[in-house]
Structure 1
Amino acid sequence: MINKEREQWSSSLGFILASIGGAVGLGAVWKFPYTVGQYGGSAFLIVFLIVLMLIATPLLMIEFAIGRKTKLNYQGALKLLFPGKKWYLIGMIGLIVLITVLSFYLGVSGWTIAYLFKSLFGTYAGDAPTEVANSFGSFLNSPFEVLFWLLVMTVLTGLVVLKGVQKGIEKVCKILIPLLLIMIVILSIKAISLPGAALGLEFYLKPDFSAISFESILAAIGLAFFTLGVGAGNLVIYGSYLDNKRTIGSSTFIIVLGDALVAILMGFIIFPAVFAFGIEPTAGPPLVFITLPIIFAQMKFGMLFAVIFYLLLIFACLTSTIAILEAIVGYFVDEWKWSRRKTVVISLTGIYILGVFQMLSFGPLSHLTLFNMTIFEFSDYLVTNILLPGGGLALLIFAGWMWKPKMLLDEINIGEGFKINKYYKITVRYLAPIALAIVYLQLLGII
């Protein structure tokens, strides 16, 4: 039975900003720059943008449409649409993905809070680039620090989700996402004016297509899914709070463009600075937490800019963590009939424990490996390169062939605004699933 009494967004703007916030957080700001750096720069960026528009965007529409149609969480929606079938198991895999992602997402978001206080007290003001980089390494090797900030971010996320949709999630996003965008524009202007920034701009904007491989294409697909927050069905819950005033296509394209804009601008901050200060663009997950403090340390009034930026970034991260937690909470509230408070407390307790192992894998537990990867690296690879694209492929097959395409398309086009037709059918039924299938077959060594 469809839940018609479900809480709703108070406005389309609130929904759009909350969805952009859910994507922007660490997806565009943290993961995008270091992944582009690892896979060769501009050529990878082009592949990423193609995948974002042709594969990830239709998936986002599908998730919103399923949520708005059923007014349920992902698992409950699949049960309602296909009673007696096993399609809901896709949703259960998605739930496992979300729990795993949140366990390391909260920890990395905690680094942002730590750097807010480091900036507030001028801990690294005026330090040389090597000193800033070494300071971050020392931070990761301090169990007390990383676990404390993990706990702080966990509590903040829980408090917002306890407030619900309009008073918690929507209220936070309406104010802070526009402010974050303004700060990112200012920092990108500063970064490209640095001495030696031209080499970074060349790396970021001049494509070398010889760097493209099946591995990098798979990484681009995973990054597009991660930055937009699709593949695990978590944005079905946001769609379930959506009214019928505007078409899903109109809102989705604004969300995708907002997410892409932030990600691209972050590249204009990171890569000019990376080359200006002699940092390796392949530094991996710590890249943003090394490069940005170096910029701030060398800027006039740098600590002031740093405090403002990290404060806004904390809330951008928060909009992502609450989007993931809301999807987890939605499952237990809808399916298990738990209260919101009980669900938040139990879920976050378990997720925090998982997060402890994720964060310590950068320091004291770095010797523990799976397939030559640390616990964090293995979790990140498994989620980004395997489970999210796999969940996306299953959702595309479901939406393009199992559920009547006309029914789903009609749901997407309800309301005023941009209508989707041929683009959706060609992409969802053929282009996107074939592309994902080819990449997977290559990964398995079949082709």
Structure 2
Amino acid sequence: MKNDLQKRENWTTRLGFILAAAGSAVGLGNIWRFPYVTGTNGGAAFLFIYLIAIILIGYPLMVTEMTLGRKTQRNPVGAFKALAPNTPWWLVGGLGVLTGFVILSYYSVVAGWSLAYIFKALGGFVPEMAFGEVFTDHITGVGVPIFWHAVFMALTIGVISAGVVKGIQRAVKTLMPILFILLVVLIIRSLTLDGASEGLRFYLSPDFSEITAQTFMDAIAQAFFTLSLGMGAIITYGSYLSEDANIGDNAAYVVGLDTLIAVMAGLAMFPALFALTDVSPDAGPGLTFITLPAVFAEMPLGSFFGFIFFVLLSIAALTSAISLLEVVVAWAVDEKDIERKKASIIVGIIIFIVGIPPVLGYSAWSDFSFLGFDVLDTYDWIANSIFLPLGGLLTAVFAGYVWKARNLADEANKVGGVINIGEWYGFLVKIVVPIAIAVVMVVTIAQTLM
């Protein structure tokens, strides 16, 4: 096997890494899932608990995965092999690679919907459109959804095959600023609509009487899932960090930027929802492809702003997708000694094929049901309810009890920065994080099976 420590690429700038890691975290979970989960849980009260969960659970896990990658300069499997040789702990890294593979297979399908809606917006959103039927007609097709799934995977493969610096870093340095600018444009348009103040009040003025046990569960789950934790992406990106990078500060920048984008997405959506529709903010996942086009149809220059939104959503999806594909490709390059471009194409094609059943789940395979889920939701449930939390839980246990929290803190603190990884880290990663993830995982699975 080649000497990866000699040939491995590194991020050439700190900004490049931060934007790449934040891009991995910023995806459909921020622009699509966060607003509807917030709406379902009462708005501002959920936002308050979510921010606490980000600090107590998301940040220490981000530090953990980033440090594991930087220390070993390896993919998730190689990282655990290096720190716990001749033990089964490498299987945790293997779970991360598998999770990235599964998530990207159906993530690409949904991202393909977003690409298609860019062109639907260009065709015009008008109040008379039956938006529910438009969406149903799209996803129940066969050729068209597969085509957009293929286009999105081709874009992802193209970025990854170019490498860490020329591919990922160059792409995110362009895409992330564009994403931010488009989001600001949508926020300005949303806040200047008549009646926007009611949506702003719902989103930013907490009513703590709305808080339930489910609110805490959803906040912890969203904080965990939105940061791309438990799937090997941050370990992989951390492996391209140089020795002079400060982990504590870099992790804070990534977590902060991801959280900022999620909060901004809510600012773009809720004022417009309250101003232009009588749809409840807890309308669920349909907010993106049914409710929001209806909102844009009622808005001056609505098709233009709809176009901006779906470009924004597609960019967010792409920045996450490249990190998911990179996890699997890095494993193939490191562990199987396959050349990067060849690995990107082979792995990408396999993932595309595995993603075809979720497409057919709304047409030819619409009769499929697993625990009441269709094909795409089955993929999502397995990945998000089992693989992701299990990977995060075992990573926290490994860092806290096997490699030892003190060793990880020393590695993270090698280069001084504003944030010092102190005793608080050990308490969080050994006790708070595992318990919180375990509770969310067990309750989520139990609720599904009951």
1:10 is paired with a residue of what secondary structure? coil
TM-score (norm 1): 0.92
1:219-238 counterparts in 2 under 5 A?
219-238=218-237
Asked if 1:13 corresponds to 2:15, the answer is: yes
Deviates more, 1:63-72 or 1:285-294: 285-294
- CA deviations on 1:291-337 (whole Å, 9 max, x unpaired) are 44334333433434444443344333211100010011111111111
Query: Which residue is 1:170 aligned to?
Result: 169
Query: CA 1:372–1:208 in 2, change beyond 3 Å: closer, same or farther?
Result: farther
Query: Which residue is 1:357 aligned to?
Result: 357
1:50-129 counterparts in 2 under 5 A?
50-120=52-122, 123-125=123-125, 127-128=126-127
User: Does the CA contact (< 8 Å) of 2:296 and 2:303 recur in 1?
Assistant: yes
Deviation at 1:130, TM superposition (A): 5.5
Q: Distance in 2 between matches of 1:263 and 1:158?
A: 26
Query: Which residue is 1:322 aligned to?
Result: 322
Q: Distance in 2 between matches of 1:316 and 1:132?
A: 23
User: Does the CA contact (< 8 Å) of 2:10 and 2:241 recur in 1?
Assistant: yes
1:154 is paired with a residue of what secondary structure? helix
Query: Which residue is 1:254 aligned to?
Result: 253
Q: Distance in 2 between matches of 1:387 and 1:212?
A: 28
Structure 1 letter corresponding to 2:279: I
Deviation at 1:278, TM superposition (A): 2.3
Q: Distance in 2 between matches of 1:391 and 1:184?
A: 32
Deviation at 1:430, TM superposition (A): 2.0
Asked if 1:426 corresponds to 2:446, the answer is: no
Query: CA 1:246–1:93 in 2, change beyond 3 Å: closer, same or farther?
Result: closer
Query: CA 1:50–1:367 in 2, change beyond 3 Å: closer, same or farther?
Result: farther
Deviation at 1:372, TM superposition (A): 1.1
Deviates more, 1:39-48 or 1:393-402: 39-48
Deviation at 1:20, TM superposition (A): 1.1
**For 2:37, which of 35, 38, 51 is the aligned residue?**
35
Deviates more, 1:411-420 or 1:359-368: 359-368
TM-score (norm 2): 0.91
Q: Distance in 1 between matches of 2:16 and 2:128?
A: 40
User: Does the CA contact (< 8 Å) of 1:34 and 1:283 recur in 2?
Assistant: yes
Query: Which residue is 2:402 aligned to?
Result: 402
Moved over 4 A (4+): 208-216, 440-446
Deviation at 1:104, TM superposition (A): 1.4
Q: How many residues align?
A: 443
Segments of structure 2 that go 5 or more residues without pairing to the other structure are none
Deviates more, 1:358-367 or 1:346-355: 358-367
Query: CA 1:163–1:442 in 2, change beyond 3 Å: closer, same or farther?
Result: closer
Query: CA 1:375–1:207 in 2, change beyond 3 Å: closer, same or farther?
Result: farther
Query: CA 1:394–1:202 in 2, change beyond 3 Å: closer, same or farther?
Result: same
Structure 1 letter corresponding to 2:85: P
| Percent identical | 40
Deviation at 1:362, TM superposition (A): 4.0
Deviation at 1:199, TM superposition (A): 4.0
- CA deviations on 1:396-436 (whole Å, 9 max, x unpaired) are 11101110322211221122422221331221122222323
Deviation at 1:217, TM superposition (A): 3.2
User: Does the CA contact (< 8 Å) of 2:273 and 2:295 recur in 1?
Assistant: no
Deviation at 1:74, TM superposition (A): 0.6
Deviates more, 1:238-247 or 1:371-380: 371-380
Q: Distance in 2 between matches of 1:312 and 1:198?
A: 24
Quote the RMSD (CA, aligned, Å): 2.4
Query: Which residue is 1:376 aligned to?
Result: 376
